[in-house]
Structure 1
């Protein structure tokens, strides 16, 4: 006697749930087997597991650190220092590569034949040479610079030697922090005023001045506060002394080479992304802007580039993620990022599984943060259908 299957159990949703449950169970069993196998192998070799080692003394010398650190500190602090070094080079790499790549991408569309060919040659060269080779090249060139006593001095207060790039540094005081906060608040006010002026201009066609608010917020108020608080703007200028450079701030050859390689390499890709985005905007948009009397610079700023951003941002996000992950090549030239610090710690205590997990966690967090910010920005500039 045939029995009818209830539609409830024959539905597509039920089948999907069954398959998903099966796949999840297989994944859970696989992960459990891997963990059990790893634990068995560690026990067989008398290798301790767990993250208790993070509280032990590291004994790792780290030349560059954004927070206070000594070899007597724990492994946890050493890994934090390495993670901050990774974030530091990724931040400056993304910022500078974006500026350079945008400029090169726009220059490739110039009507100047020589400028276009030079930018094309730059893109083809840096995009086609492996990044690791470029890092070796820049590091070798920096190591070939003269010693401190014969340091190059292209600009007053700036020295370039085999110890790195030395720059003047502001002698920071507590009063400077308050002045900076006021300046940031003024910058926010100025941006708000500019957005309001742009919106009003689109509504009534009249020009609304923004410079008085800008001067007051960015110059007058911070200046008056600096005078009242007695903030002195003195520069700590570096000077060669003996075998080292005293004063100022010195960017190490390792950081300089890594940043230079990341910026030049990724800017070539960003330039192509920007060029493609601009070319995706219909030529009729530019003709309409010209008919309205807009100059080429204004056309690019107000008409072409805002539309091009909708094409630029998605691949630009991927390039940012690539740059962040490419920073792990720092270990090849001796810059102590999270990979370098974790690898050294791994050689000392043998906690390979835990330290690899830490490295993966750092890069996963960095990549997800970049994706979150860029997706938020992409949603802000997306077209809203009415």
Structure 2
């Protein structure tokens, strides 16, 4: 059997898997023995004990009397908020700078080149601390907050804006929005089929945007304007009411977005350059506008080169959000892996949960991007 490479390959795989399980079993037994020596038990009952600490930014109701589990959920939501907002903003900046990086204008080309090289060669933690310091030290105190318009205040405590209060009838607006989005998707697919069959191009973006904005707006007035505003106002020591965007979130979101956008810009530049220049020349020969050439011909072909490394940048941004603890932003690391761990002494359980959470988030991002990559892949005959 050993001389037959088929059996030998199977046997080697069995031995490797057995070795991995043996190592895991040894580590688990060693951890259990050490916990017993310290007089500790392994369990997750602590998640249902009162957290007894406050969180400065919450998107769901929370107070110090809630459980450690709810505190972890709040931290997870804060992590997701930074990750989603950062990926969106970094993608927009990256595509803009990636296209400008190929500009024939010498000044624009060199400015973007300097931006990319400077940004991606400075550690992201330094950039987070820098932007947080800039926001906290340059903006005025709450009593002297800047107010560019009524009900909006900008201070070193955060960006206060009116908060919407949803009343009865908001379901009609939500239903109209969902119907508009579904209609826009159906219209886009129909327009694509018509273009392939007849060559006629419909204004998909304009019609879709008008439907998504106009239909909910009509439903809003028909339902009697079921949204009121909680406007911020000056209190004794601080600004009360409304919705606040904390400087910790702003600094973290902006720094991660700017840092990641420099890498995305180079990915976009490489993707565009991978498309044969003959495609551009052929489009110009047919009289297609330059912006249409980029949007309809170059970018769709470049995406098969852009998307795989873009997935890695999304994963890096999400994992780099764990540096939020350096400026006091309460993400999953600061809540479950920080304060909860110190209060309960359940370091093994807390870090195991944090590890599994980040692993799950990364796998979800990878699965979604792999699905999108398969969807946009060019079908060859």
Give the Cα separation in 1 of the matches to 2:36 and 2:322.
31
The structure number with the bigger radius of gyration is 1
Q: Is the 8 A contact 2:167 2:227 kept in 1?
A: no
- Give the 5 Å matches for 1:293-372: 293-341=287-335, 342-372=337-367
Q: Aligned in 2, Cα 1:113/1:237: closer, same or farther, shift over 3 Å?
A: farther
Take 2:153 and 2:319, find their aligned partners in 1: how far apart are those partners?
31
Equivalent residues of 1:47, 1:350 under 8 A apart: no
Tell me the alpha carbon deviations over residues 239-285 of structure 1, each in whole angstroms, 9 at most, x when there is no partner.
Answer: 33332222321111111111111111111111111111111111100
CA distance in 2, matches of 1:153, 1:257: 20
CA distance in 2, matches of 1:239, 1:221: 33
Query: Which shifted more, 37-46 or 14-23?
Result: 14-23
Unaligned 5+ runs, structure 1: none
Are the counterparts in 2 of residues 331 and 337 from structure 1 also a CA contact under 8 Å?
Answer: yes
Q: CA deviation at 1:219?
A: 4.9
Conserved in 1, the CA contact under 8 Å of 2:168 and 2:226?
Answer: no
For 1:210 and 1:127, locate their aligned partners in 2 and report how far apart those are by CA, in whole Å.
37
Which residue, out of 235, 252, 259, partners 1:258? 252
- Out of 273, 276, 280, the residue aligned to residue 274 of structure 2 is 280
Counterparts of 2:148 and 2:222, CA distance in 1? 36
Match of residue 98 from structure 1: 91
The correspondence of residues 29-44 of structure 1 with structure 2, limited to 5 A, is 29-44=22-37
**Superposed displacement of residue 215, structure 1:** 7.4
d(CA) in 1 for partners of 2:77 and 2:200?
A: 48
Any gaps of 5 or more consecutive residues in structure 2? none
TM-score (norm 2): 0.93
Taking a change above 3 Å as real, the CA distance of residues 158 and 111 of structure 1, as seen in their structure-2 partners, is farther
> Structure 1 residues 27, 237: CA separation in 2 closer, same or farther (over 3 Å shift)?
same
**Which one is further off, 139-148 or 235-244?**
235-244
What is the aligned partner in structure 1 of residue 236 from structure 2?
242
* CA distance in structure 2 between the aligned counterparts of 1:339 and 1:299, rounded to whole angstroms: 45
The CA distance in 2 between the partners of 1:361 and 1:325, in whole Å, is 13
